Amino acid sequence: MSSADKEFVKEIARRDEDPSQWYVDVIRKAELADYTPVRGCMAIRPYGYAIWELMQAGLDRRIKETGHQNAYFPVFIPESLLQKEADHVEGFAPEVAWVTHGGNEELTERLVVRPTSEAIICAMYAKWIQSYRDLPVLINQWANVVRWEKVTRPFLRTTEFLWQEGHTAHRTSEEAQEEVMRMLEVYRDFVENDMAIPVVPGRKTEREKFAGAHATYSIEALMQDGKALQAGTSHNLAQHFARVFDITFLDEDGQLKYVYQTSWGVTTRLVGALILVHGDDRGLKLPPRIAPIQVVIVPIAPKKARETVLAKASELEARLRNAGFRVHLDDREEYSPGYKYNHWELRGVPLRLEIGPRDIENNQVVLVRRDNGEKLFAGIDGLEEALPGVLDAIQRDMLAAARKFLDENSRPAADMAEMEKIITEKRGFVYAWWCGDEACELEVKERMSATIRNIPLDQQAARQKAPAAAKCVHCGKPAAEVAVFARAY
Amino acid sequence: MSSADKEFVKEIARRDEDPSQWYVDVIRKAELADYTPVRGCMAIRPYGYAIWELMQAGLDRRIKETGHQNAYFPVFIPESLLQKEADHVEGFAPEVAWVTHGGNEELTERLVVRPTSEAIICAMYAKWIQSYRDLPVLINQWANVVRWEKVTRPFLRTTEFLWQEGHTAHRTSEEAQEEVMRMLEVYRDFVENDMAIPVVPGRKTEREKFAGAHATYSIEALMQDGKALQAGTSHNLAQHFARVFDITFLDEDGQLKYVYQTSWGVTTRLVGALILVHGDDRGLKLPPRIAPIQVVIVPIAPKKARETVLAKASELEARLRNAGFRVHLDDREEYSPGYKYNHWELRGVPLRLEIGPRDIENNQVVLVRRDNGEKLFAGIDGLEEALPGVLDAIQRDMLAAARKFLDENSRPAADMAEMEKIITEKRGFVYAWWCGDEACELEVKERMSATIRNIPLDQQAARQKAPAAAKCVHCGKPAAEVAVFARAY
C-alpha cells in the first residue's frame, strides 16, 4: 500500500469493510451533499448539484426531442383532490407532509406537499382538454417532491427529493402505451449512455406497481453491493384518473370520451446509483458525459520551474475550455501534487492531466484515467483532437465494466433453496420463472427480503439467464414468464 | 376598426378600459398560466414556462459567469431556525405556510415551507466555512418559495412562486458590498437587455428593506398603467445572520471572525412585468431574446397552391431552425390566415413570416413586426442573414419605446401638493428630494399610497429629474438625496 493509499484509508471507509459508511463518506468528503437540521432532508452541495444539472440537461434534451414541453404546477395539493383516486390516496396518504396553517390562520382544508402531481395535474387537464384537437398533451415538470420516509439515506431515499415527472394524455389506449414505452426507452438510453449504468427494462408486478396505475414499467440497475436499485419508472394510468377527475374530450366521431394517461419520472436518487455502481475505495468515479470537471490539470513544478509550468498549464486550460471541455486547473500552492491526486480522484474526475518541466521540454503531457488508473502520454500540440477519444474510451469502458458486473451477478434459480442461497450468499439479480401468482411473489419476499424487480421486456434474453424448465420458482407450477428477483434499495 | 380587431375585442378586454381584466385575459388566452384549485397558486402552462426557461437561461449564464455555482437546500425550515434572526422572523412569520404533520404523526417541531432560505443556508454555512481559504462562498439556488399572501394576482403576487436566490459569504465588508452591487448590475443588464425593460437601480429605505438586511438595493421598473414594479433585489446582510448563526472563519491573521453576507433574487413576477410593460390591446409582445417562438411562419395558400406553398414553408422552417432561430410553422388547415395572425399576435411572437404563391414566384417573403406592425419584404435566399438584423431591431426598439415611456412618466415634485396631483392624476415615477426622515416617507404613503421605490444610485441623473431646490418634499427641510416615489404592485 502506497502512502497515498494510507492517507486515503483514513479519509473514507473501505467499501468492502463498511459499505454504508463508505457511501456516506464519499458523499460528504467529495462534497456532493450534507445532512441538514431538517429530518431526512439533505443539502445538495455545488459539486453534487453540478452533476444533477448535467443529468437534467441530458434528460431534458431527450424529453424535448420526443415532443414534450415543460410546465409548472403548484407544490400544494388540497386533501380532497388527493383523495379522489382510491388506490392513489391509499398509496400516498401515509407518507405526506401536511400543511395545516397559512400565516396565522388554520386552513379550512388541509394541503399536502406534493408527493407526486397526478392529482393537481389531472384537475388542470380536465379544464384544458376539450377536443381531440387538444390531444396529445405532452407535459413534463422539474420539481421538488416530499415523501415522509421513516428511514432515509442521502440521495437514495430522502424526505424531499428533486425529480422530473412527465404527465401525458392521449386519445387511445395504444397511443398511451406507446408513450409509456417511449419514455422507458428514453430513460434506458440516458442511464446507460450518459451515466454508464446498464439496466434491465421490464414490467412491475401488480403488487409493486404505482398507486393508481394500470401498469408500471421500470429500469432496474444493480449496485456493486449486489442490491438492486429502481432507476426510473413509466406508468400506464389507462383511464383510472380520467374517470375520477372527469377528463373528457369530444372525439372526431362526436362522442365524449375519457383520455388515456401516462406518467413517468426519475429522481436525484440516480446520483446515489452513480456512487454505488462506479465508486471504489478511492471515492467517486464519474463518466465523462456527466462529470462537472472532465479533465483536471495538475502542474508538477519544482520551485524554480513554477512560473514556466503554471504559464503552460494556464494556456492548456484556456485551450481546452475553448474547445468545449469542462476543465479545471488546480493551481493551489499550498498542496502537493499527491494531495491533489487524491482530492480529484475522490471527486471522480475522469481524467487527470499532469504537466511538469520535463513534459514541456518533450512537448507532451501525462494523462491518467480515473476508471482504470491507466497512464497515457499525449502531445501538447494535438491535445484537443486526442482528448475526445480518451474520454469516449472511459465512457465506453465504464459501461462495459458495469455490464460485466451485471452479467456476472445475474444467476438462475430453479427453486426456493437455490434462490435463497444466491440471495443470502451472493445477492445480485436472480432470474427465475414465476407463475404470476401474488402468493409466490410474497413468499419469496417474506423468506428472503427479495422482491420481483420486474418482468424483463426482453423475455428471450431473460430465458437464457433462467433455468431451462419453465416452472415457478416457488410453487413449481408451469410459468409463462421469467422475473428478476433481488434485494433492493 | 378592421374585422380582425373586432374579433379581438371580444377575446380580451381593452387595456385602457379595464386593465385588470386585460392582464388576466392576456395570461389566460395566451396560455401563459391558469388558476388552480389551490388558493393563490397558479399553474404555469408550457408557453409561459418556456418564457421562464429562457429567462432562467439568460440569468443562469450571467450568474455563473460572475463565479457562482448552483446548489439546493431543503424546502422546509424548522421553526427554531427561522426564529433566530429577530427582524427576519418578524418579517416572514406572518406569511408562511406551516407543516405540522408528517405522515400520520404530529411533528415535535413545526416546519415552515421556505419563504426565503437565509435561515437554512446560514445553518449550513456555519458547518462549511472554517477558514479564510473557504471564502468567498458564492452559491445560487433555483427554487420554489411560498408566502401566504392575502391578495394574489398571477405572476405578480402568488402564494407559491419560482425564483433564484443567491447567498454569498465574504471575508470583508467591502467584498460583500461589491458583490451586492455586482448582482444588482447583473439584474439590470438582464432585465434591460434581454427583457427590454428599463429600470432604475437604487437603495431601499430602512422601512422598505429586506427583513434582516443591513441594506437592500433594487431595480425598479414602470408599468404602462403608471405603477412601479420591483424587478429584483440585492441585499447586504452585513454580519446580522453570521452573528446569530455563528458563521465564523479563522482569518489569515489567526483571528476568528464573522463572515459578511449577501443575498439577491428575482422571481417569476418578472413574467408579469413583461406583460404590463410591453402588452397592448392585441395581447402579449415579447422581446426576441426571451421569445419561445421568434418567428412564426404562416402559409397563405389558395387550395390549388396549398402543396407548393406548404413545401416551401416547411423548407424555410427547417432552414431557419438549423440556423439557430426559434421558429414555428403554423400549418393548421382548419384556421384562416387571419385567425392565425391574431393567435400569434396574442402570444406576442416578435416576427410573422407570411408566404404565398406570389411570394414564391418573386423569391421573397413578407415579414411583419409584432412591436410596431411594420411590414418588410425579404429575399428567400439570404433569409438567415437578414433575420438577425430584424430581430435585433425589434429588441432595440422595444427597449427604446419602454425607455421613452419611462422618461415621459418621470416627473419632479417640489411639495406634497405637486406630488399628490401627479400620483393621483398621472401616476408614474415622481422624483423628489427627501430628508431621510421616516416620518416624511410615511406621510406620503398614508396620504397617497405611494412609497419610496428607491434612492437612485445615479444621483446626478436623479437630480436632473428632480426640482432644483434640495428641500424635502414633505417637511421642506434641506435634503441630501433624491428619491423615486410611486404607487407600486
Residue-wise pLDDT tens digits, B205-223: 999 999 999 999 999 999 9
What are the boundaries of each domain within chain B?
15-278, 293-393, 411-486
Contact flag B97-A97 (C-beta cutoff 8 Å): no
- pLDDT tens for B19-58 read 999 999 999 999 999 999 999 999 999 999 999 999 999 9
Phi, psi of A460 (to 5 degrees): -60, -50
Instruction: Look at A101 and B100 and tell me if their CB atoms are within 8 Å.
Output: yes
Q: What angle do CA B419, B422, B425 make, to 5 degrees?
A: 140
Percent of chain A with pLDDT over 90: 93
The predicted pLDDT at position B89 comes to 87
Give the closest-approach CA distance of B415 to chain A in angstroms: 39
In the block, residue with C-alpha cell 406576442: B348
> What is chain A's mean pLDDT, rounded?
96
**pLDDT tens string B144-194:** 999 998 899 999 999 999 999 999 999 999 999 999 999 999 999 999 999
Reading the block at residue B182, the C-alpha cell is 455586482
Residues of chain A found within 8 Å of residue B50, distances taken between Cβ atoms: 69-70
Mean of per-residue pLDDT scores for chain B: 96
Q: To the nearest whole angstrom, how far is the Cα of A336 from the nearest Cα of chain B? A: 16
**Residue A9 pLDDT level (bands cut at 50, 70, 90):** very low
8-state DSSP, B365: E
The domain over range B15-278 is classified in CATH as 3.40.50.970: no
Q: What is the pLDDT of residue A3?
A: 47
Q: Say yes or no for a CB contact (<8 Å) between A102 and B127.
A: no
The rounded radius of gyration (Å) of the Cα atoms in chain A is 25
pLDDT range class, residue B104, cuts 50, 70, 90:
confident
Q: Which residues of chain B neighbour A104 with C-beta distances below 8 Å?
A: 94
Residue A117 is given by DSSP the state: S
- Does the domain at A411-486 match CATH 3.30.110.30? Answer given as yes
Strands (E), B407-480: 410-412, 429-434, 451-456
Q: d(Cα A227, Cα A229) in Å, to the nearest integer?
A: 7
- C-alpha cell belonging to residue B281: 390591446
Mean pLDDT of B444-462: 98
Sign of CA dihedral A455, A456, A462, A465: negative
Question: Contact A350/A327 with Cβ under 8 angstroms?
Answer: no
- Report the CATH fold assignment for A295-390: Rossmann fold (3.40.50)
pLDDT grade for A10, boundaries at 50, 70 and 90: low
The 3-class SS string of B57-109 reads: HHHHHHHHHCCCEECECCCEEEHHHHCCCHHHHHHHHHHCEEEEEECCEEEEE
Place of cell 465574504: B170
Sign (positive/negative) of CA torsion A462, A463, A464, A470? positive
B11 CB-near residues (< 8 Å, 6+ apart): B25, B29, B342, B346
Q: B375-433: per-residue pLDDT in tens?
A: 999 999 999 999 999 999 999 999 999 999 999 999 999 999 999 999 999 999 999 99
Residues 6 or more apart in contact with residue A112 via CB below 8 angstroms: A76, A77, A79, A82, A92, A96, A97, A98, A99
Closest partner residue to B34 among A124, A162, A334, by Cβ? A124
Q: Out of A44, A74, A127, whose CB is closest to B72? A: A44
* A98 vs B38, B81, B100: nearest CB: B100
Model confidence band, residue B4 (pLDDT cutoffs 50, 70, 90): very low
Mean pLDDT of A449-467: 98
3-class secondary-structure state, position A156: coil
ipTM value: 0.96
Do B221 and B228 form a contact (C-beta atoms < 8 A)?
Answer: yes
Chain B residues touching A131 at Cβ < 8 A: none
Q: Which residues of A touch B38 (CB under 8 A)?
A: 74, 76-78, 111, 120
Q: Do A70 and B77 touch (CB under 8 A)?
A: no
Give the closest-approach CA distance of A110 to chain B in angstroms.
10
Is domain A13-278 given the CATH code 3.30.930.10 in the classification? yes
Question: What is the least distance, in Å, from the CA of A89 to any CA of chain B?
Answer: 12
- What's the rounded mean pLDDT across residues A469-486? 98
A431 in Cβ contact with A466 (< 8 Å): yes
Contact A37 B148 (CB under 8 A): no
Name which of B244, B186, B216 is nearest B453 in CA terms: B216
Which of chain B's residues have a Cβ under 8 Å away from the Cβ of A144?
Answer: 75, 143-144
For residue A375, pLDDT over 60 is answered with yes
C-alpha cell at A160: 424531499
- A57: pLDDT strictly greater than 70: yes
Question: Which among B38, B52, B69 is the nearest to A111, CB-wise?
Answer: B38
Question: How much is the pLDDT for A253?
Answer: 97
CA of A163 vs chain B CAs: smallest distance (Å): 13
φ/ψ of residue A61, rounded to 5: -60, -45
Residue B219's identity, in one-letter code, is I
Say how many Å lie between the first and final Cα of chain A, rounded: 33
What confidence category does residue A430 fall into, taking pLDDT thresholds of 50, 70 and 90? very high
Length of chain A: 489
CA angle A329/A334/A339 to nearest 5° reads 70
Render the burial of B161-189: b for 16+ CB within 10 Å, e for the rest.
bbbbbbbbbbbeeebbbebbbebbbbbbe
> Is pLDDT above 70 for A168?
yes
Is B272 within 8 Å of B266 (Cβ atoms)?
Answer: no
Q: Closest CB to B124: pick one of A36, A75, A103.
A: A36
Q: What integer pLDDT is reported at residue A43 of this predicted model?
A: 98
Residue of A nearest to B149 (CA): A103
Whose CA is closest to A291, among A346, A370, A350?
A: A350
Q: Is the pLDDT of residue A5 over 50?
A: no
The highest-level CATH class for domain B293-393 is alpha beta
Nearest chain A Cα distance for residue B358, angstroms: 31
Dist. CA B55–CA B32, nearest whole Å: 14
β-sheet bridge partners, residue B161: B145
DSSP readout, A276-296? HHH-BTTB----GGG-S-SEE
pLDDT at B87: 86
Q: What CA–CA distance (Å, rounded) separates A260 from B139?
A: 43
Cα first-last separation, chain B: 33
Kindly report each contact of residues A366-370 with a partner whose C-beta sits within 8 Å and lies 24 or more positions away, as own/partner: A369/A394, A370/A285, A370/A286, A370/A345, A370/A394
Q: Residue A242 corresponds to which cell in the numbers above? A: 380520467
Nearest alpha-carbon partner for A485 in A408, A402, A406, A413:
A413
Q: Amino acid letter at B414? A: A
pLDDT band at A158 (very low <50, low <70, confident <90, very high): very high
B104 neighbourhood in chain A, CB within 8 Å: 94
Least CB-CB distance to A160: which of B75, B139, B160?
B75
The mean per-residue pLDDT over the stretch B238-263 comes to 97
Nearest CA among B203, B146, B153 for reference residue B35: B153
Average pLDDT estimate for B286-293:
98
Q: Chain B closest CA to A123's CA: distance in Å? A: 8
HSE-CB at B450 with a 13 A cutoff on CA atoms is 30
Pick the residue from chain A with its C-alpha nearest to B77: A38
- pLDDT attached to residue B10: 62
Model pLDDT for residues A244-275, shown as the tens digit of each residue? 999 999 999 999 999 999 999 999 999 999 99
Chain A nearest CA to B73, separation (Å): 5
B100 to A104: CB separation less than 8 angstroms, yes or no: no
Considering only CB atoms, A98 lies closest to which of B76, B101, B159, namely: B101
Nearest to B44 among A37, A71, A97 (CB): A71
> Which of A50, A73, A102 faces B97 most closely, judged by CB atoms?
A102
CB atoms within 10 A of CB A104: 11
Higher pLDDT, B271 or A150: B271
pLDDT at A7 over 70: no
- Distance (Å) from the alpha carbon of B43 to chain A's nearest alpha carbon: 5
Please judge whether A99 and B94 are an interchain contact, meaning their C-beta atoms are less than 8 angstroms apart: no
Q: Rounded to whole angstroms, how far apart are CA atoms A391 and B110?
A: 49
Which DSSP letter does residue A54 get? H
User: Which strands sit side by side in the sheet containing B410-412, from one edge to the other?
Assistant: B69-70, B137-146, B160-170, B260-267, B228-238, B215-222, B200-203, B451-456, B481-486, B429-434, B410-412
Is residue B93 very low, low, confident or very high in pLDDT (cuts 50, 70, 90)?
confident
Give pLDDT, residue B69.
Answer: 98
Q: What is the mean pLDDT of residues A163-192?
A: 98
Minimum-distance CB partner of A76 among B38, B101, B133:
B38
- At residue A228, the 3 state secondary structure works out as strand
Q: Which residue of A has its CA nearest to B47?
A: A71
Alpha-carbon gap, residue A97 to A93, rounded angstroms: 9
User: Residues of B with CB below 8 A from A76's CB?
Assistant: 38, 41, 97, 146, 160
Q: Which residues sit opposite A139 in a β-bridge?
A: A69, A167
Cβ contact A41–B76 (<8 Å):
yes
Helix (H, G, I), strand (E, B), or coil: what is residue A39? Answer: coil
* B340-370 pLDDT, tens digit each: 999 999 999 999 999 999 999 999 999 999 9
Phi-psi group of A174: left, alpha or beta (phi > 0 → left; psi -120 to 50 → alpha; rest → beta):
alpha
Q: How far apart are CA B394 and CA B388, in angstroms?
A: 10
Rounded to 10 degrees, what is the CA torsion of B251, B255, B256, B261?
-50
For an interface test with B, the pick among A32, A34, A36 (most B C-beta atoms closer than 10 Å) comes out as A36
State how far the Cα of B112 lies from the Cα of A100, in Å rounded to an integer: 11
Is A126's pLDDT higher than 60? yes
Assigned C-alpha cell, A67:
415532443
Could you tell me the pLDDT band of residue A1, with boundaries at 50, 70 and 90?
very low
In terms of CA atoms, which chain B residue is nearest residue A50?
A: B70
